[in-house]
Amino acid sequence: MDGTFGELLFYIIGYSFLLFSIIGIVRLLKLQNDAKKHYLTKIMTFIFIAITFFLFIGSSIGHKNEMEELAGDYIIEYYKCEKCFNCIVKLKINGTYELTKSKQIIDTGDWDFTKTFVTPFIIFNNGNEQQINSNRTLSYIKNNNCQEYWRNQNLAQEINGKIIKIDSTKTKYGFYSIEVEKNNTKETIKYTPKYIHHPWLNNKIRIDYLIRKEKNSMTFIIKKTNGDTLILNERIRLKESIDEIINKH
């Protein structure tokens, strides 16, 4: 049974019994001068109260026991949209967590869990739900607005030089990373496109092409070895994406 549906069903049943209990109590209070004639109401009210108590207390105890089983140390791969090396999150029995990087605490917060069938999903206080991997690894904590965060990173970087290496193994962002030798200093820098609508450098660039991007701009001026110039920007990238969708249909 899906965890969300199971929780919904539990609350419907639990609060229905609670409502019946309240109705029974109110009815007995109204008829207290003639209560001897309402044994059935007393019995049913007692049953409803007992079932309500059992459901909510039993659920709370069960949830606490499962939380104790899930508590412990887990590896965290990403934190605030960045790869988090040597990061461990300690899930505590009391529903709080500590995130450490190289044994130094860098964040704290609350956690809980939900279940889909028998699979538990950890819920951190920012609402992220994620499954526990077999090697006690969780994907991320507080990866909010990553597309905007990554775009700002790319915006801040300036490029002006010759492409000397293209990493054809795609990064987790789906783009190729490139290494550029600066024109003025011959220093080598690495540039990794990160966000979804980044100008599509893939299949448009080659080693020895010259590439230039100003700071706070997402327009790339690429000069090919034959002297031709290619200009790429976000609007072109977005247009290509729309054209791909139209062509598929």
Q: Are strands 119-124 and 177-182 parallel, antiparallel or unpaired?
A: unpaired
In this structure, the answer to whether residues 153 and 221 fall within a common structural domain is: yes
Looking at per-residue confidence, does 35 or 145 come out higher?
A: 145
Q: Are residues 161 and 223 in the same domain?
A: yes
pLDDT (0 to 100) of residue 219: 95
Same-domain status, 160 and 241: yes
3 pLDDT above the threshold of 60? no
* 121 and 33 belong to one structural domain: no
Of 28-37, 106-115, 148-157, the one with minimum mean pLDDT is 28-37
Comparing 8-17, 88-97, 200-209, 231-240, which segment has the lowest mean pLDDT? 8-17
Residues 18, 41, single domain; the answer is yes
Instruction: Beginning with the edge strand found earlier in the chain, give each strand of the sheet holding 159-167 in spatial order.
Output: 188-191, 177-182, 159-167, 210-213, 220-223, 229-232
Q: Could you tell me how far CA 122 lies from the centroid of its own chain?
A: 11
Alpha helices for 95-187 (secondary structure H): 146-156
Judged against a pLDDT cut of 90, whether residue 89 lies above it is answered with yes
Do residue 153 and residue 203 come from a single domain?
Answer: yes
Residues 56, 75, single domain; the answer is no
Query: Do 154 and 244 have their domain in common?
Result: yes
Boundary-marking domain end, from 36, 69, 102? 69
CA 21 – CA 7 distance, rounded (Å): 21
Q: What percent of the chain has pLDDT over 90?
A: 39
Residues in Cβ contact with 117 at an 8 Å cutoff, skipping those fewer than 6 apart: 1, 2, 3
Q: What is the helix, strand, coil percentage profile of the chain, to 5? A: 35, 30, 30
Give the residue from 43, 69, 95 where a domain finishes.
Answer: 69
Shared domain check, 37 and 83: no
Alpha-carbon distance of 58 to 66, in angstroms, equals 12
Structural domain range at position 105? 71-144
DSSP 8-state secondary structure symbol assigned to residue 169? S
How high is the pLDDT of residue 226?
Answer: 93
In the chain, the number of structural domains is 3
Given 144, 173, 189, the domain boundary residue is 144
Interval 15-65: pLDDT, tens: 676 676 677 666 666 666 565 556 666 667 667 777 666 666 656 666 677
